[in-house]
Amino acid sequence: MNWTVYILRCADGTLYSGITNDLERRMAEHVAGQGAKYTKGRGPLQLVYQEDHQGRGPALKREAEIKSLDRKAKLLLISTKIVRGDIHRNPNR
């Protein structure tokens, strides 16, 4: 099964890293305020990076690597890939 490691940019400029086996579902959860506690109330969110992995184990390992990077290194990583557009938070939340 394919797993995706992703990075979101929150409205306050902070970055959130996560993994999922269904990126569209996970983005919908973040938008609905049912994703990570960290992203709740920090919208609109923008998907700024994603990479696919074969299996959960490699994705978890890569997520840990990304989370250990400092902000400057994460921004450099983000600049190396182009991903699809903004994910906006429901304004009623």
Domain ranges of the chain: 2-87
Instruction: Walk along the chain (93 residues) and give the pLDDT tens digit of each residue.
Output: 899 999 999 999 999 999 999 999 999 999 999 989 999 999 999 999 999 999 999 999 999 999 999 999 999 999 987 555 444 444 433
Q: Is the dihedral of CA 18, 23, 27, 33 positive or negative?
A: negative
Residues 6+ apart with CB under 8 A from 66: 5, 7, 17, 74, 77
Q: pTM of the prediction?
A: 0.85
Token pair, residue 81, equals: 């890939």
Instruction: Provide the pLDDT for residue 10.
Output: 96
Report DSSP state, residue 22.
Answer: -
Structure tokens at 77: 């990583």
For residue 57, the SS3 value is: helix
CATH class of the structural domain 2-87: alpha beta
Residue 81, pLDDT score: 75
pLDDT of residue 62: 96
**pLDDT score recorded for residue 80:** 85
